[in-house]
Amino acid sequence: MSAQLKVVLFTLAILILSFGIVAFMNGYLGGAQAKKYMAESGDEDANSNSMPEDVTTADTEFELLSQYATASNATISDAFTIKQDIEGDDYFDPSQFAYVARVGDSYFDTTVFIGDGRVVDLSLYGGRANFKSFATESLSLDKISTDTIIPMNGTNLTVVDAINNSSYNNYYIAFGLNEIALYDSTTFANEISALIDTILAHNSKAIVYVVNVSPTTADISNTTIYNLDNINAFNYALKSMCQTRKDVVYLDLASSVKGDDGYLSPDDSPDGMRMNASSAAKMVEYIRQHVVERTN
């Protein structure tokens, strides 16, 4: 074999070895990065489970997380929402409450949501089998003690009766869109406060979250009474009521779906007002990151 041929073969061997090392390191580091993402999610089993066996190496983090989502029956958006961290404009009295770490699925076992069609949307699209609600699409505050619309133990109860015949650790109150046509902002806040009294009279240790009213799309806002001015007035009244009471949490859930312009994106709603799978996922993630515990 000539010396020139030996040099060519040696150079070729070095190149093949180099490509092999680079491919191995890309796969190893990509897998480590994806594991880090999943561990940061705060899910209850994130630290105990490694990547699924059928996840292989990938050239980019997005591809690797896509493979993870496929192997774990999740979605790509689920894999990336673990990085979401929206502060929002919540309010609570720090002498009574404090934030806890992001909660897992079991939190919803002891939680109930009370409200209108947007709560129904969360139940349908939020992806949580243990999501519980006292809600219907047309529910408004003037019906909670009169209309028997909540199925429980083989019969239908009013919302107030359903509250008094069950027990939860956490109550989320989410009204507003139907009330814009019924009340001014002060009356709305007073009706919410009365509902809070009902809950705490039944369960004084419960934590009550008053959810603000989410925005509509620009088209809806510009052509109907469901506009940003009315919604902002309702939310201001809700927050002021919570600041005065000090025994509840004001939850700025609207921040999870509100754009920089203050409106709901058309991509996050089927009709400019209600929620779809995209907006529901954002809301559930916000809820997970904004849970409090009592400090007294």
Question: How many Cα atoms within 13 Å fall on the side-chain side of residue 228?
Answer: 11
Q: What is the pTM of this model?
A: 0.73
Q: Mean pLDDT in runs of 10 for the chain (296 residues)?
A: 50 49 40 39 38 35 38 39 66 96 94 95 86 94 97 96 98 95 96 98 97 96 94 98 98 95 93 92 94 94
Output the 3-class SS for 37-83. HHHCCCCCCCCCCCCCCCCCCCCCHHHHHHHHHHHCCCCHHHHHHCC
Closest-CA residue to 192 (of 167, 159, 228, 150): 159
Distance CA 70, CA 276 (A): 21
Listed as own residue / partner, the contacts of 106-109 with beta carbons closer than 8 Å and 24 or more positions apart are: 106/44, 106/130, 107/170, 107/288, 107/291, 108/132
Look at phi and psi of residue 250 and say left if phi exceeds 0, alpha if psi is from -120 to 50, else beta.
beta
**pLDDT of 2:** 53
Query: Which single residue is written with the structure tokens 């994130």?
Result: 46
**pLDDT of 10:** 52
Annotate 117-167 with DSSP letters as a single string: HHHHHHHHHS--TT--EEE-TT--GGGTTT---EEETTEEE-HHHHHHT--
CA 210, 271, 189 angle in degrees (round to 5)?
A: 25
**pLDDT of 101:** 92
